[in-house]
Amino acid sequence: MSWRDELSGIRDDQDPIRRARRAGELGDAYRQRQHELARLRRIAIDEARAQGMSYTEIAAACGVSKGRITQIRTTAPPTERAFFGVGPVVVGVPLRFGEDDRKRTYIDAADANAQRAAEGLLADLSLQATGRSILPDRAEPFDGDAVVICGPKSAPIGTTLLARDPHLDMTKSGNRWWIVNRDTGDKLGSPRNDPTPTASDLGYLARHLIDDRVVIHIAGITAYGSHGVVHYLAHNLPELWSSTGDTQFSMVVRSDHTEDGAITASAQVVSPVRW
């Protein structure tokens, strides 16, 4: 559908509330596309420079001033923005039910920290983020680009996304959850669950390309591991994007945390494997 058709469809909508909502959603999408176009323009300028053109020559060829070229290079979003898609991006975490008689719903504090950290990372990349709760019976990803912070224990969506990964899986065995290599059978468990526990955890990270959207799947063996994956992305995204590009892959991240849940360090323990 062309942009003219999208606008016409909104103009012709007879429901004023739906028309207002659709206009807002389309405006958000256009703003995200504008950021993506700026990113692509910056990449093109850098490629032309790498091919030997001067910035003066690039400016003349593009019909803009040299100052405008400098502005584009300094203000456009970085290349690795595309890791999360074009945007807007939904950031989902599990909604859990309490075990007391009142069965009140809640979001785990570590999940909430991971969600806030992911939203902050997306904002730094000029990506609009919307936080959402993942209901316990949700099995399918959200529409559009998304970061799904959820393991198979919390909702079926975790199982749905893991089933798309030919390399890694998460299974429960011996009252513990493990990240398992499908090819070798090797498994990794959280140091938090070892006989002598330590303040470290493991987290699974995968990048899915589903239809025309990007779905990032993060699943810690505990919620601390999920937050650790976001910490890893915040500190290593340029290098990760450079090595993987616009592909599907999965990997494992180990992170250390304090008693109050703050992540102090993170590093990959299973390197990215492309599908």
Percent of the chain, pLDDT > 70?
A: 97
d(CA 36, CA 111): 29
pLDDT in tens, 170-204: 999 988 999 999 999 999 999 998 989 899 999 99
Rounded-to-integer distance, Cα 90 and Cα 127, Å: 10
**Contacts (Cβ under 8 Å, ≥6 apart) of 241:** 79, 80, 82, 83
Q: What local confidence, expressed as pLDDT, does residue 112 receive?
A: 93
> pTM (2 decimals)?
0.87
DSSP-assigned letter for residue 15: -
Alpha-helix residue ranges (DSSP H) falling in 51-94:
55-62, 66-75
What are the backbone angles phi and psi of residue 123, rounded to the nearest 5°?
-60, -40
Q: Where are the domains of the chain?
A: 3-77, 83-274
State yes or no: pLDDT of 108 exceeds 80: yes
pLDDT band at 2 (very low <50, low <70, confident <90, very high): low
Q: Please give the structure tokens belonging to residue 27.
A: 């405006």
Residues 255 and 262 sit within 8 Å (Cβ to Cβ)? no
Q: What's the rounded Cα separation, in Å, for the pair 155 and 249?
A: 22
Average pLDDT along the chain: 91
Helix (H) or strand (E) holding 255: strand 249-257
The residue whose two tokens read 């919620």 is 223
CA–CA–CA angle 202, 158, 144 (5° rounding): 110
Half-sphere exposure of residue 39, counting CA atoms within 13 Å on the CB side? Answer: 19
Cβ-based neighbour number of residue 141 at 10 Å: 21
pLDDT of 45-89, one tens digit each? 988 989 998 889 898 888 888 888 888 888 888 999 999 999 999
